[in-house]
Amino acid sequence: MSDLIDAVIKTREISKEIAAQSLKSLVGASEVDIHKLILSGMSTHDSIFPKGWYAPPPGGASVLFDQNPFERLKYDSLRNPTYWPQKNSVFNKETVASIYFSPVDRVTGMMGDIGFTIYTGDNEEIKKHLNSVYESILEVAKYIEIGMKISDICEFAKNLFKDKFRRTRWVTISSDPGQSINLGHSVAGSSEGKFIVRNNFDELVETLKNKRIHLIDTETSLIPETCAFIVESRLEDINKPYLPSAYFQFIVCFDKGRKTILRNIDDIIKLVGMNYINTN
């Protein structure tokens, strides 16, 4: 296995472990409480840096709790301080939570981002919506194959989401202002076969940002035989705008042609009791 792809897989697994540990006592916890646990978890793993590459938000981690009418989940950007963790935002049974953080492997510089939406309440419409978002984003991840043009992947996603979802702006900023959909980006440098090493973490972060290839509809690059892509979207129900924005993230890896979809958010879904999500 490619050392870089192996690092992506291992870093993403660490992300899952940190998330699972941080969410053990979710009810009654504030955004600040969970955020501190995530950063503490990142700092205890020697193989990753103690903070994430996507910052702000503080530490490269975001924790958002919201309830009806779910305006907090309709953020313009996680870089906006309005959407940083707050002490007075507390999780209870009818809370919808959005969790994201962005660890980086110390040796290779590979990303291991993780992101997902949590809801453990009783509202059946919200449950159906979250399941639909999860299944739709996973379908895009399953569609991606070596040699595909990125713009064609985006066209597939647009047709899939059409008439069902309204796409909302996600944390990644497109490199092309003319694009109409952003499904994520490459794990920077994962196709190049070389470790990304810099003098300090800030320099590494700048390199990671600049090396990403965005999954946008104006990008004509082809999917190479060895690479990793973060596939994500934040979607709202076009016919039921009162439902929350929902977000899930998968990582698609190709190692000399062999495809793996990193679905370890499924472990988090099961841990918190979201049995209504079809993870089969």
**More confident: 159 or 113:** 113
Query: Could you tell me the two tokens for 172?
Result: 């990644």
Q: Amino acid letter at 38?
A: I
pLDDT of residue 179: 54
For the residues 183-206, what does the mean pLDDT come to? 96
For the residues 8-14, what does the mean pLDDT come to? 98
Q: Grade residue 23 by pLDDT with cuts at 50, 70 and 90.
A: very high
Asked if residue 113 lies in contact with residue 209, where contact means CB atoms within 8 angstroms, the answer is no
Does residue 46 sit in helix, strand or coil?
coil
> CA torsion sign, 27 to 33 to 39 to 43?
negative
The residue among 114, 110, 106 whose CA lies nearest residue 201 is: 106
- Assign domain 3-271 to a CATH class: alpha beta
CA distances from 204 to 53, 55, 107, 210, 211 (A): 8, 13, 11, 10, 10
The residue among 76, 259, 233, 75 whose CA lies nearest residue 156 is: 233
pLDDT beyond 50 at 171: no
Q: Amino acid letter at 105?
A: D
Angle (CA) 216-4-170 rounded to 5° is 30
**DSSP bridge partners of 252:** 229, 261
> CA torsion sign, 51 to 246 to 64 to 263?
negative
Cα 3 to the center of its chain, rounded Å? 22
- % of the chain at pLDDT higher than 90: 87
Does residue 90 sit in helix, strand or coil?
strand
